[in-house]
Amino acid sequence: MLRTDHLRKAYGSTVAIDDLSVEIPSGRVGLVGANGAGKTTLFRLFLGLARPTAGFVEVGGRGVAEDPIGIRARIGYMPEHDCLPLDQSAADVVATLGELAGLPARAARQRASDMLDLVGLDEARFRAVGTYSTGMRQRTKLAQALVADPEVVLLDEPTSGLDPSGRDEMLDLVARLGADEMSVVMSTHVLADVQRACDHVVMLDAGRLVVAGGTEDLLDTTGTILVEVDGPVEALVAALTARGLACAVSGSRVEVTAPDADAGLDAIRDEVSELGLPLNTLATRLTSLDEVFVRRTPQ
Amino acid sequence: MSDPATTPMDAPAGSGRVYDRGYRRYDGPRGGRGAAVRALFLGSIRRALGLRRSWKQKVLPWLLLAVAAAPAAVFVGVGYVTRNTPAADFEFITYREYVGVSTALLLFVAVTAPDLICPERRQRVLPLIFSRPLTGRDYVLAKAGAVFAVVFAFGFLPQVLLFVGQMLVSDAALSYLRENAEVLWQAPLSVAVLAAYLALLGTAVASLASRRMVAAAAFLGLILVSSSISAVLLGGSAQGAGALVNVMGIPLFVRDLVFLGHIGNDTPLGGVDGGGALALACYLGITGACVVILLARYRWAER
């Protein structure tokens, strides 16, 4: 759906995107990275609102530089920052932005009504946006991104500023949208949000690609076994090292690198039993994307 | 696609509540860039006139526009009432004089142009607008075009009123029409000259400020300061090239070129050699500079 090839974007001496080559498939995709990783810049490049310093950006098989206007007609965009006119109602804002995306006036008002229903703003839509809470503004921003029924929607930090229940609802909505024949790319620095709502993840760090792949595939990182025991782990580490397994210790957790996962599991089970240590965790997969990110990011 | 049934989700109600009505696709007609520009243009006109806004936001624009049209109504009314016993010294205002007779249009632009431009910059709405199939040029065209359209409509309407009124008041309506046929192109052209000038100047000044009050004050200040400097340059004399420094005088000199073919002798530029060419050059220079400023201010979207 979206593709970059040796993409570079620099603002003066500041490099926002550095030699990024990645393919973002259809579906629900999380674009993750710390603040300043280049997520918003990448969105702007996909929209044709910024020009690459070098490299190539493609949306739906079409170069953005060749037809930025045509590309924008196919993309919905929800910026991270406050961007709504405060003296207008959500109904007017969303309908107007629908018209700007090419919908006829009557259809834009109908779609605005539908989308505001979808995001849960059916009762408040006729109030001025300036009277809205942060959560309501986020919903309005999401509704305007969806109003023209885009092929792909870019959501920049959609859970930013939301309380836990609002965040839950937003993530549920993102997950449902991705199941409705629409591609959703959600940027965030909260990896748990991606793990929950997305089936594909692209990790950026300082404008460079850290890793990209299916969320489940990344969590099923092969060759790594997590062991958590009560009590001192030094004896366990020594025993496993003697068996030729590399160990990394973090508190009561030991991360064991085993070329053969099954043999590794057997060895750990035997040594834990031998040492009489209470076993809390024994898993062949990483438990969170945070761990994947930390492992893959150059220190 | 999700079940279209309306079923509230389990999440607790906060500022709103998500209802699982499902996402519905849109397979109706879609316009392109032209439709987007048209939508922005019409939306800006609605905003300028306070339509779909509270009554408080309707008062000022409509009051100013009524004031701009009032003199024409008064002249026609007086002319109609006294048609059989005209006062010896009663004369209708000329079409030329009516272009720019009222400062209401000026005040309308001072209020409206910042209202169309500044909040979108200040409230950072522009990224939303430019994520649609629009360019910076389209935005400038729609915004300046909306101000132009409203100023033109309310500048030209009184001219129509004057013309129709004088036709009806005159002894022979058809003769009046024949004798004044040239007004049918002179009036709209000169009103368009004034409207384009005010629209471009107003929106260009507004594009440089993020607060409406600052933009309005800057626009009116530019006009006041330039007229004061012009008065100083003219010194005690009634006419001279210093009149060209007065920013608001320039479109009226071009109006004279449309109506008379030369600068009127009753204006501060009358009698100045090459005054017409100088006025036209100043008009084109100022409007051109406004276009350059506007395009530069909205070029960021294409960087």
User: Among all residues of chain A, which has the CA nearest to that of B2?
Assistant: A180
Q: Which of A85, A119, A136 sits opposite B120 (nearest CB)?
A: A85
B98-131 pLDDT, tens digit per residue, is 887 678 889 999 999 999 999 999 999 999 999 9
Question: In the predicted model, what is the mean pLDDT of residues A246-257?
Answer: 84
Contacts of A52 (CB under 8 A, 6+ apart): A7, A8, A9, A17, A45, A65
Sign of torsion over alpha carbons A125, A130, A132, A137 = positive
Partner A contacted by B125 (CB < 8 A): yes
Residue B11 located in a structural domain? no
The total number of structural domains that make up chain B: 1
CB contact under 8 A, A102 and B52: no
Residue B122 located in a structural domain? yes
Residue B176 located in a structural domain? yes
CB < 8 Å to A85, chain B: 119-120, 123, 125
Interface test with B, best of A100, A117, A127, A183 (most B CBs within 10 A): A100
Residue B280 located in a structural domain? no
Compute the mean pLDDT over every residue in chain B, rounded to the nearest whole number: 87
In percent, how much of chain A has pLDDT > 90?
52
Residue B48 located in a structural domain? yes
B233-270 pLDDT, tens digit per residue, is 988 787 888 899 999 999 999 999 999 999 988 888 88
Confidence of residue A221 (pLDDT cuts 50, 70, 90): low
In terms of residue numbers, what domain contains B182? Answer: 32-220
Question: In the predicted model, what is the mean pLDDT of residues B198-223?
Answer: 96
Residue B36 located in a structural domain? yes
Strands A183-188, A152-156: pairing is: parallel
Does residue A119 carry a pLDDT above 80?
A: yes
- Within 10 A of B58 (CB to CB), how many other CB atoms are there? 14
Residue B95 located in a structural domain? yes
Q: Which of A93-107, A173-187, B114-128 has the weakest average pLDDT?
A: A173-187
Q: Which of B1, B14, B129 sits opposite A135 (nearest CB)?
A: B14
At B187 the pLDDT is 94
At B82 the pLDDT is 80
At B228 the pLDDT is 94
- For A209, A231, B272, B278, B289, the CA distances from B285, given in Å and listed in that order, are 50, 83, 19, 10, 6
CB < 8 Å to B30, chain A: 73, 101-103, 148
Residue B140 located in a structural domain? yes
CB contact under 8 A, A181 and B120: no
Interface test with A, best of B10, B23, B58, B211 (most A CBs within 10 A): B23
CB contact under 8 A, A166 and B14: yes
At A285 the pLDDT is 64
Does residue A139 carry a pLDDT above 50?
A: yes
B42-66 pLDDT, tens digit per residue, is 999 999 999 888 888 889 888 988 8
B15-28 pLDDT, tens digit per residue, is 555 555 678 899 99
Question: In the predicted model, what is the mean pLDDT of residues B88-106?
Answer: 80
Q: Which of B11, B15, B120 sits opposite A168 (nearest CB)?
A: B11
In percent, how much of chain A has pLDDT > 70?
96
CB contact under 8 A, A83 and B29: no
Sign of torsion over alpha carbons A272, A276, A282, A288 = negative
Question: In the predicted model, what is the mean pLDDT of residues B273-297?
Answer: 96
